[in-house]
């Protein structure tokens, strides 16, 4: 009666041992669920000195107490591990239906350790768990794997989270896909799953998920539902998907183009969410309990699929100089089928394109070559030809050929679809992100570009460190709760606190909610420090720090993150090197 499934399952893949334990009350209280559970369990169980692809690493799937309760947009789950791409403690968030099914199967979290001697998949079924042979699934795409498991179990209600060939081949930019199209996308979590010979996790169940106070929760649900429905950003997401951002960012001269050489793409309208709606969109689609439905089910030339979201639309589009929406969509579909991070894959290809054009690499690919781009996506997933080198991500690739400065990455993870030179707070959030190049660990695009909860001038740095800290802490708490980040366009910390209070039965206010987020952030930061990360790593590519934008309103701007770093560290209660002080750790109960 508190929104939790009540149990966690520990699976030792090396021995096949499976242990089910009650979800600890102190874990619920201090870390809520989702990202909080994942980071706490990871940092407790894994020596920070281990190799991410060794059998000493673990993989944690965890939902939140609001996941699957019927709360609007309460559908998310997190995959936490040590990233083989960055070396950081990382969590990757996904939606769809799998998180709900994980809890209906009876589990708040799944902790996978060791390495199986042969391919297996984990089947969660109404409070039970068993490992099953997956030799017949190895080599299959995510779609084929999902269908094969559903057929094998003879139950269409089963939900599957799995890897494709990219994860099997230990591609450092591989991801985990659930329901064929929803991705736990960043940090190379798919490679960790592949390194364990774990092909999939399948969940089935009809166990109850009961809130503590159904009457109170009903009232809060109605309030947040109304707020979301009345929010203009949510309406835009429903009508045009996340690619509604294409024209918005491009008109502001902030959409990175041709490997961040410029920030304005002449072909933007051709790949925009508006054009997608007019041409290839079949219908909107949402995750479990979603009233926004930002997903795009597309259909064209006899092909069907889901997406592309804004990030791959930009990555395979503007960043690679391609304005053919169908080709971009096909590239996105390949990422889904093979299990590739649809941000890192196109931006790594864009890095190759610039290096090839400048003669640093002998390869025929050039910006705008859509056919060559499609071929490279599959080569990366299969580690074939130059794809074997690109599979290591843009930083390792560019470094190998003597030009690391052409990797548009932070902490070795590729940057997403916003130019930090003209969005100063976002630049700071990205540089200080605990999982490397990132936008959703502190979505400063919301206030700086979209004007939510208030419009900030994106070009100024005054006050931005405080905004970044608040957004990072809030996002950590949202990820822990099981809610979709997009709810933050309409909801404030108090709304999430009220949802948690009604669901868990533990009184939470906005201050306490943010404190949980701060605890998660500091714990992850502390662990990353133990893995060798420090102030020197809280930065962005030199291009973004020294080469000003040349067009539109942000002309002349560079990212000014280093002017904000001291203030940001001080606000966090860290020393000048970005290390949490003992006072801060005591305050958060971390020592």
pLDDT one-digit tens code per residue, 190-222: 999 999 999 999 999 999 999 999 999 999 999
- What pLDDT is recorded for position 1? 73
Cβ–Cβ < 8 Å for 581, 573: yes
Q: What parts of the chain have a pLDDT lower than 50?
A: none
We report the CATH number of the domain holding residue 28 as 3.60.9.10
Q: Which of 181, 204, 227 is the last residue of a domain?
A: 204
Q: Which CATH number covers residue 273?
A: 1.10.569.10
- Contact criterion met (CB below 8 Å) for 197 and 356: no
* Domain span including residue 249: 238-414
- Check whether residue 199 and residue 283 sit in a common domain: no
- What pLDDT is recorded for position 118? 98
Residues 113-129 pLDDT 10s: 999 999 999 999 999 99
CA distance 56 to 49: 10
Same domain, 314 and 434: no
Using the 3D structure, point to which of 398, 414, 430 is the last residue of a domain: 414
Phi, psi dihedral angles at 524 (to 5 degrees): -65, -40
Q: What's the CA gap between 547 and 454, in Å, rounded?
A: 29
Triad 158, 162, 166: Cα angle to 5° = 155
CA–CA separation, 344 and 259 (whole Å): 12
Q: Are residues 461 and 312 in the same domain?
A: no
Residue 220, in any domain of the structure: no
> Three-state DSSP class for 169?
coil
Q: Which helix (H) or strand (E) holds 425?
A: helix 424-431
Give kind and range of the element (H or E) at residue 45: helix 34-45
Whether residue 217 lies inside any domain: the answer is no
- The reply to whether omega before 453 is within 30° of 0 (cis) is yes
**Claim to verify: residue 284 and residue 430 sit in the same structural domain:** no
pLDDT at 352: 98
> How many residues are given for the chain?
591
pTM exceeds 0.75, yes or no: yes
Pair 436, 517 in one domain: yes
Count the domains in the chain: 3
CA distances from 260 to 213, 406, 411 (A): 50, 9, 17
Does residue 503 lie within any of the structural domains?
A: no
Name every residue whose Cβ is closer than 8 Å to that of residue 265 and which is 6 or more positions away in sequence. Answer: 250, 255, 257, 317, 318, 321, 323
Give the per-residue pLDDT at 431: 98
Which pLDDT does position 239 carry in this prediction?
94
Bridge pairing between strands 159-162 and 176-178: antiparallel
């Amino acid at each position: 009666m508190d929104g939790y499934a009540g149990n966690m399952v520990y699976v030792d893949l090396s021995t096949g041992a499976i242990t089910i334990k009650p979800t600890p009350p102190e874990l619920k209280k201090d870390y809520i669920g989702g990202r909080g559970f994942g980071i706490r369990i990871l940092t407790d169980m894994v020596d920070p000195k281990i190799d991410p692809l060794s059998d000493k690493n673990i993989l944690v799937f965890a939902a939140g107490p609001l996941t699957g309760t019927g709360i609007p947009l309460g559908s998310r789950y997190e995959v936490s591990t040590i990233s083989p791409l960055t070396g950081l403690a990382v969590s990757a968030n996904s939606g769809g239906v799998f998180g709900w099914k994980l809890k209906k199967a009876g589990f708040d979290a799944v902790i996978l350790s060791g390495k199986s001697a042969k391919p297996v998949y984990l089947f969660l079924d109404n409070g039970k768990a068993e490992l099953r042979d997956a030799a017949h699934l190895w080599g299959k795409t995510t779609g084929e794997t999902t269908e094969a498991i559903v057929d094998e179990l003879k139950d269409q209600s089963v939900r599957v989270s799995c890897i494709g060939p990219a994860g099997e081949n230990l591609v450092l930019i591989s991801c985990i896909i659930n329901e064929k199209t929803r991705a736990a996308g960043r940090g190379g979590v798919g490679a960790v799953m592949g390194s364990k010979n774990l092909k999939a996790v399948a969940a089935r169940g009809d166990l109850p998920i009961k809130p503590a106070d159904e009457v109170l929760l009903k009232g809060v649900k109605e309030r947040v539902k109304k707020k979301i429905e009345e929010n203009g950003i949510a309406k835009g997401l429903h009508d045009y998907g996340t690619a509604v951002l294409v024209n918005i960012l491009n008109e502001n001269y902030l959409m990175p183009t041709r490997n961040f050489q410029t920030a304005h793409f002449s072909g933007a309208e051709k790949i925009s969410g508006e054009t997608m709606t007019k041409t290839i969109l079949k219908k909107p689609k949402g995750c479990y309990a979603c009233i926004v439905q930002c997903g795009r089910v597309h259909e064209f030339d006899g092909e069907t699929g889901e997406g592309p979201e804004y990030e791959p639309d930009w990555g395979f589009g503007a960043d690679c100089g391609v304005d053919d929406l169908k080709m971009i969509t096909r590239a996105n579909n390949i990422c889904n089928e093979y299990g590739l991070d649809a941000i890192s894959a196109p931006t790594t290809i864009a890095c190759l394109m610039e290096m090839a054009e400048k003669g640093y690499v002998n390869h025929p690919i050039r910006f705008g070559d859509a056919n060559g781009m499609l071929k490279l996506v599959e080569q990366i997933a299969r580690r074939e030809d130059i794809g074997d080198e690109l599979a290591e991500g843009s930083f390792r690739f560019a470094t190998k050929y003597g030009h690391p400065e052409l990797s548009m990455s932070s902490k070795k993870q590729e940057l997403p679809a916003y130019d930090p030179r003209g969005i100063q707070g976002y630049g700071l959030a990205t540089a200080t992100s605990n999982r490397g190049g990132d936008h959703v660990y502190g979505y400063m695009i919301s206030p700086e570009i979209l004007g939510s909860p208030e419009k900030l001038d994106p070009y100024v740095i005054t006050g931005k460190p405080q905004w970044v800290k608040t957004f990072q802490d809030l996002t950590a708490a949202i990820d822990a709760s099981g809610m979709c980040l997009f709810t933050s366009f309409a909801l404030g910390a108090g709304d999430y606190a009220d949802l948690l209070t009604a669901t868990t039965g533990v009184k939470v206010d906005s201050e306490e909610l943010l404190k949980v987020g701060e605890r998660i952030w500091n714990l992850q930061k502390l662990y990353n420090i133990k893995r060798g990360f420090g102030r020197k790593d809280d930065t962005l590519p030199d291009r973004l720090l020294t080469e000003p934008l040349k067009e539109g309103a942000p002309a002349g701007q560079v990212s000014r993150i280093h002017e904000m770093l001291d203030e940001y560290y001080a606000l966090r209660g860290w020393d000048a090197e970005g290390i949490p002080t003992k006072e801060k750790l005591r305050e958060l109960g971390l020592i």
